[in-house]
Amino acid sequence: MPTTSRPKPDYAFQIEGQKREKIILSISGRLVLEHLEHLESEYAAFLTEMRPAELTVDVSQVEYLDSAGALALIQMEDQAKAQNLPFQLVNLTDAARRIMALVDRQALQPSPPVPKPRPWKALEQVGAVSLSVLNDFVQVLTFLGGLLIALAQSFRHPGKIRWGDTLFYMKRAGVDGLPIVGLISLLLGLIIAFMSSLQLKQFGANIYVASLLAIAMVKELGPIMTAILVAGRSGSAFAAEIGTMMVNEEVDALIIMGFDPLKFLALPKVLATMLVVPVLTLYADFFGLIGGMIVGVVGLDLTVFSYISQTQKSLNLFDLLSSLVKSAVFALLIAGIGCQRGFQVRGGAEAVGSATTSAVVAAIFLIIVTDSAFAIVLHYLR
Amino acid sequence: MTSSDKNPIIVVENLTARFGDRTIFTNVSFQVNEGEVLVILGGSGCGKSTLMKQMIGLYRPASGRVLIKGVDINTPDEVQLRQLRMQIGVLFQSSALFGSMTLGENVALPLGEYTDLSPASIDLLVRMKLAMVNLTGSAELLPSELSGGMKKRAGLARAMALDPSILFFDEPSAGLDPITSAELDNLIKTINSSLGTTMVIVTHELESIFDIAHRVVMLDKTAKGLIAEGDPHYLREHSTDPRVVNFFQRRVGELK
């Protein structure tokens, strides 16, 4: 913020009369906002020093008065009255009188303090938070349920799906995300292979770097990293888009025109995300494994062939398919929560911001929870 | 103070607005006198709001300049610009209140930024300004809790926070019922007559124009510039320009 030097007050007091007697205080110059407090303190000092028995304030020499200046004159009078001092304001011009008439003296009194709600006790807070989390969970589940029903209905009438929008969001969530997903996965593969090689080298088990990375990447890291990236890129975008439409009453317009916002807005996004996230996951797996292979070949003296064959030995089709199913479920969660948070927006710009944040946080949380559930279920399924 | 003082506070010189290849208007020149209520009028799409945004420095003109109290609004001098901004208050069409702040905080914002006043003084001024626009006791409300008319008045209180010498209004009565709109017009007139604030108002509400305007300038989409300037009552009775007559008599012009 550029600083401006505080201008010198361009008003002056002229005092006629003796201490503790009738005094005429003539004010000249400009009474404006910038000098409000200066004027008040100078006046207070004048009252303390002169202690007038009767005070007349003459404003005939005031050249300019704004509403803050008018406020200052009114406060002068109030202050004098509070000290039981006879006060008179004289030679007010018509313009000054009109400005003073604008000031509502009643409104200047501080409004009675609003009683603050009793602070909640710790147990109540825990209860309230638990209820709101539960409520939120139920809302998310209800929304996802509605979404699944809409999805099922759409498969019976595929012509009714908005394919144009679906393709648009497939590009947004999928194609546009390829560079970042590829780069992150490659680096992740490099890091994990490098860190694990430091340990495995000690046992001469270099080749198992390939196994470790294949299992970690395909089963867990590929789907999770892809999902987290998509949540950050697309889940947030969905929440912001639908949230802004809520604020602008566009969603209301859709409802009035007989469209189901769930099918019109949410379904193409969810469908697009569910179609592209498994593909992105495969792509992430591939780049992760390439990263590992770079470490294996350059740092561990493995051949490309032995690295690939060890990777193949460590994986089977079930692992790959289950990870793709998992990523499709993650996609449903990401897009579903993004849309649900968007539809929850009420109010203005701030609500859109918090919906966006909440969409990403909730999606990542649910991705991890669902992944844990998958880990247990898949373990017993094999 | 009346328009008869003829002391120009805003001078618009040969202003041209262009978006890409599309020219909105060219060579618009007029001036606004101190203490005057000037209404910029014209049909939809003629560039009224663009002209106002150029006058307050939000849009840079393609050519020409706007002088407020002799200073070019597009001056690169930061200090001058800051002083100029203190002289200008704007009521936007949507009121543009900050949704995350209470009305009191909205009005206090420019006071905190531009003055060294203590929180107590700012609080007092906020209460005074809100009372001026008949929103006594509403300081704690959020904009989302207000009706359209209340939002406009709160926006006006914020625009007036620093006692600016010029107030700009973009379609102040858009979306308001006739009574609320008339109340706002009365408020505009009171502020103009009491504080002598110069006002530039963009509107096409005929009733408001005849009620509040000292002078109007009229833009036209096909002429891409000013087609009339003067007292609205005089223009209505005496203008020979069919575009002006059609506008004031709410007649649909010949389709071309």
Amino acid at B247: F
A172 and A80 within one domain: no
A347 and A223 within one domain: yes
Distances, alpha carbon A373 to alpha carbons A75, A329, B80, B188, in Å: 69, 12, 64, 65
Tokens 């989302």 belong to residue: B144
A363 and A242 within one domain: yes
Higher-confidence residue of A116 and B47: namely: B47
HSE (side-chain half, CA atoms, 13 Å) at B123: 8
CA proximity to A186, closest of A231, A221, A139, A154: A221
Q: What is the pLDDT of residue B57?
A: 87
| CB contact at 8 A, B34 and B7 | yes
Q: DSSP for A8-22? A: PP-EEEEEES-TTSE
Q: Is residue A45 part of a domain?
A: yes
- CB of B80 within 8 Å of a chain A CB? The answer is no
Residue B117 backbone class (left: φ over 0; alpha: ψ -120 to 50; beta: rest): beta
Residue at which a domain ends, from A79, A106, A133: A106
pLDDT tens figures, A219-249: 999 999 999 999 999 999 999 999 999 988 7
* Percentage of the residues of chain B whose pLDDT score is greater than 90: 46
Q: Is residue A139 part of a domain?
A: no
Check pLDDT > 70 for residue B231. yes
pLDDT tens figures, A272-283: 999 999 999 999
pLDDT tens figures, B188-200: 999 898 888 999 9
Q: Is residue A118 part of a domain?
A: no
pLDDT tens figures, A55-83: 999 998 888 888 899 999 988 988 888 88
CATH code assigned at A82: 3.30.750.24
What's the full length of chain B, in residues? 256
pLDDT band at A7 (very low <50, low <70, confident <90, very high): low
Q: What is the pLDDT of residue B252?
A: 63
- CB–CB contact B163 A68 (8 Å): yes
Counted domains in chain A: 2
Check pLDDT > 60 for residue B79. yes
A162 and A60 within one domain: no
Tokens 């939002």 belong to residue: B151
Q: What is the pLDDT of residue B253?
A: 54
- CB of A301 within 8 Å of a chain B CB? The answer is no
> Which residue does chain B place closest to A33, by CA atoms?
B162
Check pLDDT > 50 for residue A4. no
Q: In 3-state terms, what secondary structure has residue B93?
A: coil
Q: What is the pLDDT of residue B31?
A: 94
Residue at which a domain ends, from A38, A73, A106: A106
Q: Is residue A207 part of a domain?
A: yes
Check pLDDT > 90 for residue B11. yes
Domain with A287, as residue range(s), is 154-381
pLDDT band at B4 (very low <50, low <70, confident <90, very high): very low
pLDDT tens figures, A283-315: 999 999 999 999 999 988 889 999 999 999 999
Total H helices, total E strands in chain B: 9, 10
Q: What is the pLDDT of residue A228?
A: 96
Q: A58 Cβ partners below 8 Å, 6+ apart? A: A24, A25, A26, A27, A90, A91
- CB of B118 within 8 Å of a chain A CB? The answer is yes
pLDDT tens figures, A107-160: 887 777 777 777 778 888 899 999 999 998 899 899 999 999 988 888 888 888
Which structural domains are found in chain B, ordered by start? 1-87+198-256 (3.40.50.300)
Residue at which a domain ends, from A46, A81, A106: A106
DSSP E strands: which ranges in B98-256? 166-170, 198-202, 215-220, 225-230
- CB–CB contact A71 B124 (8 Å): yes
A234 and A321 within one domain: yes
Distances, alpha carbon A24 to alpha carbons A46, A58, B112, B132, in Å: 12, 7, 35, 31
Distance (Å) from the C-alpha of residue B33 to the closest C-alpha of chain A?
18
- CB of A74 within 8 Å of a chain B CB? The answer is no
| CB contact at 8 A, B12 and B224 | no
- CB–CB contact B118 A107 (8 Å): no
- CB–CB contact A104 B82 (8 Å): no
Q: How far apart are CA A94 and CA B192, in angstroms?
A: 14
Check pLDDT > 70 for residue A354. yes
Q: How far apart are CA B34 and CA A64, in angstroms?
A: 14
pLDDT tens figures, B133-154: 889 888 999 888 888 889 989 9
Q: Is residue A115 part of a domain?
A: no
